[in-house]
Amino acid sequence: MTTLLTNARLIDPEALTETPGRVLIENGLIAAIGDTPAPKGATVIDCEGRCLAPGIVDLGVKIGEPGERHKESFRSAGLAAAAGGVTTIIARPDTNPAIDTPEVLEFVTRRAAEASPVRIRHMAALTKGRQGREMTEIGFLLDAGAIAFTDCDHVVTDTKVLSRALTYARSLGALVMGHPQEPGLSAGAATTSGKFASLRGLPAVSPMAERIGFDRDMGMVEMTGARYHFDQITTARALPPLERARRNGFDVTAGTSIHHLTLNEFDVGDYRTFFKVKPPLRSEDDRLAVVEAVASGLIDIISSMHTPQDEDSKRLPFEEAASGAVALETFLPAAMRLYHAGHLTLPQLFRAMALNPANRLGLPQGRLAIGAPADLVLFDPDAPFVLDRFRLRSKSKNTPFDGQRMEGRVLGTWVAGTRVFGGEV
Dump pLDDT digits (tens) for 79-103: 999 999 999 999 999 999 999 999 9
Contact 90, 121 (CB under 8 A): yes
> Which residues, in sequence order, are bridge partners of residue 301?
255
Q: Mind listing the pLDDT tens digit for each residue in 261-299?
A: 999 999 999 899 999 999 999 999 999 999 999 999 999
pLDDT-derived band of residue 5, with 50, 70 and 90 as boundaries? very high
Q: Residue 358: is its pLDDT beyond 60?
A: yes
Q: What is the pLDDT of residue 1?
A: 83
- Give the pLDDT of residue 424: 55
CA 30, distance to chain mean position in Å, is 24
Higher-scoring residue by pLDDT: 400, 35 = 400
* Mean pLDDT, range 180-189, rounded to an integer: 96
What confidence category does residue 34 fall into, taking pLDDT thresholds of 50, 70 and 90? confident
Query: Residue 379: is its pLDDT beyond 70?
Result: yes
Per-residue pLDDT tens for 317-357?
Answer: 999 999 999 999 999 999 999 999 999 999 999 999 999 99
Per-residue pLDDT at 374 exceeds 60: yes
Residue 34 gets which letter from DSSP?
S
d(CA 148, CA 330): 25
Give the list of residues 6+ apart from residue 262 with CB closer than 8 angstroms, or none. 287, 334, 335, 337, 338
Residue 369 has pLDDT above 60, yes or no: yes
The answer to whether 349 touches 339, Cβ cutoff 8 Å, is yes
Mean predicted confidence (pLDDT) in 415-421: 97
Report the amino acid identity of residue 377. V
Q: Do you find a cis peptide bond into 279, omega within 30 degrees of 0?
A: yes
